[in-house]
C-alpha cells in the first residue's frame, strides 16, 4: 500500500477519548474543537492535566511517543502502561485505551485508537491499533499486517519528530537548551519546514543504488551483499546518532569547563580580598590536583600493562608460551589467506564455454567444492595457533614481547607503587578540597565552593566520557569503511563502461545535487525563522525593545540573540526560568508560522514560571496567535487575576473543560463554564 500524504491546509483535533487511564476510570470524552481557537482544560494540580498530555502522545505514537516524552535511560513502556491502569477498576483483565479524532482539510475525518490489554497479575501487554479514514479502515495488501500499516500511515501523516514540537510541557521548556539542538530536533524541524521530501528522495536513491550494485554482483555473493548493506545502513544510522551525542557532550564539557573556570576565578578574587589562608589552601589544592592527575595516568598504565601480567602469571621466558611458534603460524596463515584469496577469485571467474553450457551445473558444484575445501583448510590452520594468541595479530605479539621485556623485573613492585601513590594523592586532594570548602564557608563562599567541587567532578566524568565516545566512533567508522571497501570490490568486477556502472555514477551525481539543494534550502529558511522568532519574542518579553539582532543558524537552527547591555549571544547567559520559557516559546511560534503542516498546539501549564506581568502579556498577546487551534492545560493560578475574563472578551475561547476530582484516585472530565474555577 502506498503511504503518501498530501500537504494539509489545516488540521483540527476534534475529540480525545480516555479509558481507565491513570485517574480517569471508565470512559471520559473531551471535546476539543469549539467556536474559538483556544480550548481550555482546567484542573487543580495533580488531578489530570499531565494525564491528558500523555494521552495525546500515546494516541498518536504509542510507545515511541511516550518514550520520547519521558526520555529516561532504561525506560520500559510495558511496565509504565501497566501502572497507568486506574486502580479503582476491578477485574482480572485490565484495559487501558486512548482514542483521538481529528479532521484534516484534505483527507477528511481521521480516527486513531490504541487499546492495551494485560492481566492484573502480570504477563505481556497486548495492543490493538486502529486507524479509520472517513469511517473506513485502511486497506491492506497481501502480506501486510493491520498494525504495521496503521503505524506507518500515522508516521507519514504526523511524524513523531513533528508532533513532539506541538505537544509540550510548559514547565519543561526552561530545561531545553536551544543553543545545543539534538539531531532529533533538527530532523523534526527539517520535516516541519518542508525538507522531508528531500530526505525521502535521498532514501529512494539509496535503494536504487543497492539494487544496482546487486545486479553487478555474482549470484554466489548476493546473499553476502544483502547482509553487508543491512550492516552498513545500521552502522551509518548508529554513527549519525553517536556523532550527534558526541557533539552534545563536547559542547556540554566546554560549557561546564567555562563555568568551572569562572567559579575558580570568583573564588580566587574573593579569597584574595577576604583571606590569605584561603589563597594558600587553594594553591596547595591546585598542586594536589595536578599530582592526582599524574598519579591517575600512572595508574592507567599499570592497569593496562603490569596488572594483567600479575593476574595471569608471567613466565621468565615468553617461549614458555610458545610465542615463536605462534608467530610462524600467523605468518603461514597470512600467506595462505593471500594465496587462497587469489585462488578463490580465479575459481569464481571460471565459466563454461558456449559449447559446454549443459555442464554449467557440474561446474558450479565443482567451484563450490573447491571453495569449501579452501575454507576448511584455513579453519584448520587457524586452530593450530595456541589459544593464548588465537585472536592476536603479529604486531600485537611483537608489542607483547616488548612489554614483557620492559616489565619483566619487579612488575609487582611497580604496580603496587602506582596504586599506593594514587591512593595517597587522592586522600591528599580530598583533604585539601575539604579544607578549602571549610575556609570558603567561613568567608561566606560556601555556595560557590560547593558548586565548584561538584562541577569539577562533572567535568572529570565528561572528559572520560568524551574520550570513550571518540574511541567508539573511530571503531565504528573503521567498520563502515571496511564494509564499503567490500562492496566496492564487488562493483569493480563489472566493466567500467557498463550500463550498471554508468547508472551508479548518475545516482552519485544526483545525490550530490540533492545534498547541495538541501543545504541551500535550510539557509533560505533561516531568515524567515529569524523573523518568526523575533515576532514571537516581542509578543512575550518586556526585553523585546532591547533586542538588537536575532540570527538562526542555517545548519542546525540554533538561535542567537544580540541584546543591549550584553556582549555576544544573550542566550549564553545564565537565563532565568521565565527567560528560557520565552526563548522556547518564541522558537515554537516561528516553527508554527513556517510549518508546512498546520497542526494544533497542546501546551501544559503554559505560564507556570512567569510573574504576573509576564503572564498577562503571554496569555492575551501570545497564545491566541500561536496556532489556528491551541489547547491549553492550565491551573487556576495560570489564568487568575482577570486573565480568563480578558480571553473571553477577546472572543478566542472555544470549548471549556474542567477535570474534577471525584475520589482519591479518580477524576472526570466535563464541559462547563470555567468562570467559577478562575
- Backbone phi, psi, residue 317, to 5°: -125, 130
Among residues 407, 437, 453, which one ends one of the domains? 407
CB neighbourhood size of 338 (10 A): 10
When pLDDT is averaged across residues 599-625 and rounded to a whole number, the result is 69
Domain-embedded: residue 666? yes
Query: Helices 394-407 and 323-348, interaxial angle, to 10°?
Result: 170
CA 365 to chain CA centroid, nearest Å: 49
Alpha carbon distance 263, 282 (integer Å): 13
Structural contact between residues 12 and 605, judged by C-beta atoms closer than 8 angstroms: no
Q: What is the pLDDT of residues 37-47, one digit of tens each?
A: 899 999 998 89
More reliable by pLDDT, 508 or 431: 431
Residue 175 has pLDDT above 80, yes or no: no
Q: What is the pLDDT of residues 372-419, one digit of tens each?
A: 666 666 555 555 666 666 666 777 777 767 666 655 555 666 667 777
Residue 105 has pLDDT above 80, yes or no: yes
What percent of the chain lies above the pLDDT cut of 90?
Answer: 17
CA 147 to chain CA centroid, nearest Å: 25
Residue 132 has pLDDT above 90, yes or no: yes
Domain-embedded: residue 363? yes
Residue 180 has pLDDT above 50, yes or no: no
More reliable by pLDDT, 561 or 347: 561
Cell of 351: 565459466
Domain-embedded: residue 563? yes
pLDDT for the residue numbered 257: 80
Q: What is the pLDDT of residues 21-37, one digit of tens each?
A: 999 999 999 999 988 88
Among residues 407, 432, 450, which one ends one of the domains? 407
What percent of the chain lies above the pLDDT cut of 70?
Answer: 61
Residue 518 has pLDDT above 50, yes or no: yes
Q: What is the pLDDT of residues 244-287, one digit of tens each?
A: 778 777 877 877 787 777 777 776 666 555 556 666 666 676 66
CA 14 to chain CA centroid, nearest Å: 31
Alpha carbon distance 226, 244 (integer Å): 27
Of 111, 99, 128, residue with least CA distance to 17? 99
Structural contact between residues 225 and 490, judged by C-beta atoms closer than 8 angstroms: yes
Give the highest mean pLDDT range of 80-84, 476-480, 525-529, 640-644. 80-84
pLDDT band at residue 530, thresholds of 50, 70 and 90?
confident
Query: For the chain, what is the mean pLDDT?
Result: 75
pLDDT for the residue numbered 359: 46
In terms of domains, do 531 and 667 share one?
yes
pLDDT band at residue 182, thresholds of 50, 70 and 90?
very low
Partner residues linked to 653 by β-bridges: 38
DSSP string for residues in 52-86: HHHHHHHHHHHHHHHHHHH--TT--HHHHHHHTB-
Domain-embedded: residue 136? no
- What are the Cα distances from residue 123, in Å, to 79, 83, 92, 181? 10, 13, 12, 39
When pLDDT is averaged across residues 132-146 and rounded to a whole number, the result is 81
Residue 356 has pLDDT above 50, yes or no: no
Residue 179 has pLDDT above 70, yes or no: no
Number of domains in the chain: 2
**399: CB partners within 8 A, 6+ apart:** none
pLDDT for the residue numbered 101: 97
Count Cα neighbours of 606 within 13 Å in the Cβ-side half-sphere: 30
Which residues in 529-629 belong to E strands, given as ranges?
A: 547-552, 559-563, 601-604
Put simply, whether the predicted model's pTM sits higher than 0.85 gets the answer no
pLDDT for the residue numbered 197: 62
More reliable by pLDDT, 456 or 206: 456
10 Å CB burial of residue 673 (0-12, 13-18, 19+) is: exposed
Length of the chain: 678
Matching residue, cell 512575550: 540
Partner residues linked to 27 by β-bridges: 19
Instruction: Look up residue 605 and give its DSSP letter.
Output: S
pLDDT band at residue 8, thresholds of 50, 70 and 90?
very low
Alpha carbon distance 659, 44 (integer Å): 8
pLDDT band at residue 172, thresholds of 50, 70 and 90?
low
pLDDT for the residue numbered 347: 63
When pLDDT is averaged across residues 175-185 and rounded to a whole number, the result is 51
Of 594, 609, 491, 494, residue with least CA distance to 540? 609
Domain-embedded: residue 212? no
pLDDT for the residue numbered 35: 86
pLDDT for the residue numbered 100: 97
pLDDT for the residue numbered 223: 66
Alpha carbon distance, N-terminus to C-terminus of the chain: 50
Residue 355 has pLDDT above 60, yes or no: no
Residue 342 has pLDDT above 80, yes or no: no
Q: Which domain, by its residues, includes 379? A: 318-407
Domain-embedded: residue 430? no
pLDDT for the residue numbered 128: 94
Which CATH number goes with the domain that contains 582?
3.40.50.300
Residue 357 has pLDDT above 50, yes or no: no
Matching residue, cell 532504561: 74
pLDDT for the residue numbered 17: 97
When pLDDT is averaged across residues 80-107 and rounded to a whole number, the result is 93
pLDDT for the residue numbered 158: 83
Domain-embedded: residue 435? no
Domain-embedded: residue 309? no
Residue 563 has pLDDT above 90, yes or no: no
Among residues 387, 407, 427, which one ends one of the domains? 407
Alpha carbon distance 116, 104 (integer Å): 26
Residue 364 has pLDDT above 70, yes or no: no
Structural contact between residues 589 and 192, judged by C-beta atoms closer than 8 angstroms: no
Q: What is the pLDDT of residues 225-242, one digit of tens each?
A: 667 777 877 787 788 778
Amino acid at each position: 500500500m502506498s503511504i503518501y500524504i498530501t500537504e494539509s491546509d489545516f488540521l483540527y483535533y476534534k475529540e480525545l477519548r480516555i479509558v481507565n487511564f491513570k485517574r480517569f476510570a471508565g470512559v471520559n470524552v473531551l471535546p476539543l474543537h469549539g467556536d474559538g481557537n483556544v480550548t481550555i482544560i482546567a484542573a487543580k494540580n495533580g488531578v489530570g492535566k499531565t494525564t491528558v498530555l500523555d494521552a495525546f502522545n500515546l494516541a498518536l505514537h504509542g510507545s515511541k511517543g511516550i518514550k520520547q516524552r519521558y526520555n529516561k535511560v532504561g525506560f520500559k513502556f510495558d511496565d509504565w502502561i501497566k501502572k497507568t491502569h486506574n486502580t479503582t477498576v476491578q477485574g482480572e483483565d485490565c484495559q487501558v485505551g486512548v482514542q483521538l479524532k481529528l479532521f484534516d482539510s484534505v483527507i477528511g475525518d481521521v480516527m486513531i485508537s490504541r487499546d492495551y490489554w494485560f492481566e492484573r497479575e502480570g504477563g505481556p501487554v497486548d495492543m490493538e491499533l486502529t486507524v479509520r479514514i472517513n469511517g473506513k479502515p485502511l486497506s491492506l495488501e497481501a502480506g501486510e499486517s493491520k498494525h504495521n500499516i496503521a503505524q506507518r500511515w500515522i508516521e507519514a501523516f504526523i511524524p513523531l519528530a513533528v508532533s513532539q514540537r506541538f505537544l509540550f510541557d510548559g514547565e519543561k521548556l526552561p530545561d531545553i537548551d536551544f543553543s545545543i539542538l539534538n539531531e532529533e530536533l533538527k530532523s523534526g524541524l527539517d520535516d516541519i519546514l518542508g525538507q522531508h521530501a528531500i530526505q525521502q528522495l535521498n532514501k529512494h536513491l539509496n535503494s536504487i543504488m543497492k539494487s544496482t550494485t546487486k545486479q553487478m554482483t555474482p549470484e554466489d555473493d548476493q546473499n553476502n551483499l544483502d547482509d553487508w548493506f543491512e550492516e552498513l545502513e545500521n552502522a551509518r544510522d548508529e554513527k549519525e546518532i553517536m556523532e550527534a551525542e558526541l557533539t552534545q557532550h563536547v559542547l556540554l564539557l566546554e560549557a561546564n569547563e567555562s563555568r568551572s573556570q569562572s567559579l575558580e576565578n570568583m573564588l580566587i578574587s574573593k579569597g584574595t580580598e577576604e583571606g590569605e589562608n584561603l589563597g594558600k589552601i587553594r594553591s596547595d589544592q591546585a598542586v594536589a590536583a595536578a599530582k592526582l592527575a599524574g598519579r591517575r595516568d600512572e595508574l592507567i598504565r599499570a592497569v593496562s600493562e603490569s596488572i594483567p601480567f600479575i593476574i595471569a602469571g608471567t613466565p621468565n621466558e615468553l617461549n614458555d608460551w610458545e610465542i615463536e611458534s605462534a608467530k610462524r603460524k600467523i605468518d603461514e596463515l597470512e600467506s595462505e589467506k593471500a594465496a587462497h584469496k587469489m585462488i578463490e577469485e580465479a575459481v569464481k571467474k571460471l565459466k563454461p564455454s558456449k559449447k559446454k553450457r549443459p555442464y554449467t551445473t557440474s561446474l558450479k558444484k565443482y567451484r563450490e567444492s573447491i571453495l569449501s575445501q579452501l575454507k576448511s583448510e584455513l579453519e584448520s590452520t587457524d586452530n593450530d595457533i595456541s589459544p593464548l594468541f588465537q585472536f592476536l595479530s603479529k604486531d600485537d605479539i611483537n608489542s607483547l614481547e616488548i612489554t614483557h621485556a620492559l616489565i619483566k623485573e619487579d612488575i609487582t613492585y611497580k604496580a603496587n607503587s602506582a596504586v599506593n601513590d594514587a591512593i595517597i594523592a587522592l586522600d591528599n586532594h580530598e583533604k585539601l578540597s575539604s579544607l578549602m570548602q571549610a575556609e570558603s564557608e567561613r568567608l561566606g563562599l560556601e555556595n560557590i565552593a560547593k558548586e565548584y567541587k561538584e562541577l569539577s567532578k562533572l567535568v572529570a566524568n565528561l572528559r572520560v566520557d568524551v574520550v570513550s565516545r571518540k574511541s567508539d566512533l573511530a571503531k565504528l567508522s573503521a567498520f563502515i569503511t571496511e564494509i564499503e571497501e567490500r562492496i566496492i570490490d564487488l562493483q569493480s568486477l563489472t566493466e567500467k563502461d557498463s550500463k550498471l556502472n554508468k547508472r551508479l555514477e548518475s545516482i552519485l551525481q544526483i545525490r550530490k545535487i540533492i545534498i547541495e539543494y538541501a543545504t541551500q534550502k535550510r539557509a533560505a529558511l533561516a531568515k524567515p525563522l529569524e523573523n518568526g522568532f523575533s515576532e514571537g519574542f516581542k509578543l512575550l518579553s518586556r526585553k523585546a525593545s532591547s533586542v538588537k539582532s536575532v540570527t538562526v543558524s542555517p545548519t542546525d537552527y540554533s538561535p542567537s540573540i544580540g541584546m543591549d547591555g550584553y556582549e555576544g549571544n544573550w542566550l549564553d547567559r545564565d537565563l532565568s526560568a521565565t527567560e528560557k520559557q520565552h526563548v522556547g516559546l518564541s522558537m515554537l511560534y516561528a516553527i508554527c508560522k513556517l510549518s508546512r503542516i498546520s497542526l494544533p498546539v497542546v501546551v501544559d501549564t503554559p505560564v507556570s514560571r512567569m510573574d504576573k506581568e509576564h503572564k498577562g502579556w503571554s496569555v492575551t498577546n501570545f497564545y491566541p496567535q500561536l496556532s489556528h487551534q491551541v489547547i491549553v492545560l492550565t491551573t487556576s493560578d495560570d489564568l487568575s487575576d482577570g486573565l480568563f475574563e480578558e480571553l473571553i472578551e477577546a472572543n478566542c475561547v472555544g470549548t471549556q473543560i474542567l477535570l474534577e476530582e471525584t475520589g482519591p484516585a479518580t477524576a472526570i472530565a466535563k464541559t462547563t463554564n470555567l468562570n467559577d474555577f478562575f
